[in-house]
């Protein structure tokens, strides 16, 4: 299938490593000019250099997406250095683990800004130009926790469900303008995040054995789903969540 993405422009947040970096690399390989963002300029520069070494066109713009002022600055710089993005991929680190009764008000407020409001603010920032162009793709990276809550990841379970509801509602509002809004929900994927959540190698191995595919996802396999949803042929798919989990979730809906 020809994805039709040559010459498009994309903004990928949380792009210095893991799934975000794999998405940025995948888009660049399709001829997309990519603005990569993450909090730390040095790690971001390494990611941008890796993309350029593969022949991709890329710029790096540091920003913490949990902060509205930094999102506003990021969007201004993207427009200046790249032009208005045709594709937005909303990604960042996941909120910290914690059982429902163990979380402070401050932890909830922080996770709300990081996971839900980043998606709202980034979409708000890119949508006017997408609607004018009558073409746009917004893809949020969520988690299998939107299908089956993961017991000690309360913040992720609650706030990614909120992102899913927001994306569905937004998708209806902008559908007639040629803009699609979807989510990719990764299962367990071999990144730094996974190592942080499961420091114990034996526990990690047990988890891996419990997945029907008997392995963790490669970040490039999550990126493949993002690329498809970003593509021209995916124009009629909107408001959906595409789960990429090696068969781990058992529900049919
Ligand atoms: P990761 O921790 O390896 O990478 C996260 C990226 O986001 C990094 O580039 C980091 O610098 C950046 N980032 C973190 N906080 C940020 C902030 N406030 N502002 C801007 N950038 C920020 O994570 P990953 O494994 O690639 O996962 C990406 C997303 O997918 C996370 O939200 C994670 O919870 C979710 N997810 C991951 C898995 C998994 O198994 N790895 C499974 C399901 C969902």
From the CA of 189, give the closest atom in ligand 1: 40
Strands lying side by side in the sheet with 33-36: 58-60, 33-36, 9-12, 87-90, 136-141, 179-186, 241-244
Q: How far apart are CA 10 and CA 134, in angstroms?
A: 16
Whole-number Å distance, alpha carbon 120 to ligand 1 midpoint, is: 17
Judged by DSSP in three states, 141 sits in: strand
Asked whether residue 181 is assigned to any structural domain, the reply reads: yes
In a domain, 249, yes or no: no
Q: Where are the alpha helices (DSSP H) in 199-244?
A: 201-210, 219-230
Q: Which helix (H) or strand (E) holds 163?
A: helix 154-174
DSSP collapsed to 3 states, 46-94: HHHHHHHHCCCCEEECCCCCCCHHHHHHHHHHHHHHCCCCCEEEECCCC
Does 198 map to a domain?
no
pLDDT digits (tens, 9 = 90+) for 85-118: 999 999 999 999 999 999 999 999 999 999 999 9
Pocket test of ligand 1: the residue of 11, 13, 14 to mutate, having most ligand atoms within 8 Å of its CB, is 14
Residue 151 in contact with residue 104, Cβ under 8 Å? Answer: no
Which CATH number fits the domain that encloses residue 112?
3.40.50.720
60 domain-assigned:
yes
**Whole-model pTM above 0.85?**
yes
How many independent structural domains does the chain possess?
1
**Residues of the domain holding 105:** 9-189+219-243
Cα 34 to ligand 1 centroid, rounded to whole Å:
18
- The reply to whether 203 falls in a domain is no
For residue 134, is it within any domain? Answer: yes
**Smallest CA separation from ligand 1 atom 23, residue:** 193
pLDDT tens per residue across span 157-215: 999 999 999 999 999 999 999 999 999 999 999 998 888 888 888 999 999 999 999 99
């Amino acid at each position: 299938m020809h994805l039709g993405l040559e010459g498009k422009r994309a903004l990928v947040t949380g792009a210095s490593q893991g799934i975000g970096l794999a998405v940025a690399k995948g888009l660049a390989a399709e001829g997309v000019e990519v603005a990569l963002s993450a909090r730390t300029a040095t790690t971001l520069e390494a990611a941008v250099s890796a993309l350029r070494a593969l022949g991709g066109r890329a710029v790096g713009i540091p920003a913490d997406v949990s902060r509205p002022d930094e999102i506003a600055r990021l969007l201004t710089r993207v427009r200046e250095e790249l032009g208005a993005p045709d594709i937005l991929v909303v990604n960042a680190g996941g909120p910290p683990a914690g059982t429902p009764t163990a979380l402070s008000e401050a932890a909830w407020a922080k996770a709300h800004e990081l996971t839900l409001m980043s998606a709202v603010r980034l979409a708000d920032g890119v949508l006017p130009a997408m609607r004018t162009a009558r073409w746009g793709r917004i893809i949020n990276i969520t988690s299998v926790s939107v299908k089956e809550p993961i017991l000690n990841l309360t913040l992720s379970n609650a706030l990614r469900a909120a992102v899913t509801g927001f994306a569905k509602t937004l998708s209806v509002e902008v559908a007639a303008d040629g803009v699609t809004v979807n989510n990719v929900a990764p299962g367990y994927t071999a990144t730094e995040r996974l190592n942080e959540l499961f420091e114990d190698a034996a526990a990690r191995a047990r988890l891996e054995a419990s997945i029907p595919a008997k392995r963790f996802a490669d970040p490039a396999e999550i990126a493949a789903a993002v690329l498809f949803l970003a593509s021209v042929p995916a124009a009629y798919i909107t408001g959906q969540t595409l789960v990429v989990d090696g068969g781990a979730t058992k529900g049919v809906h």
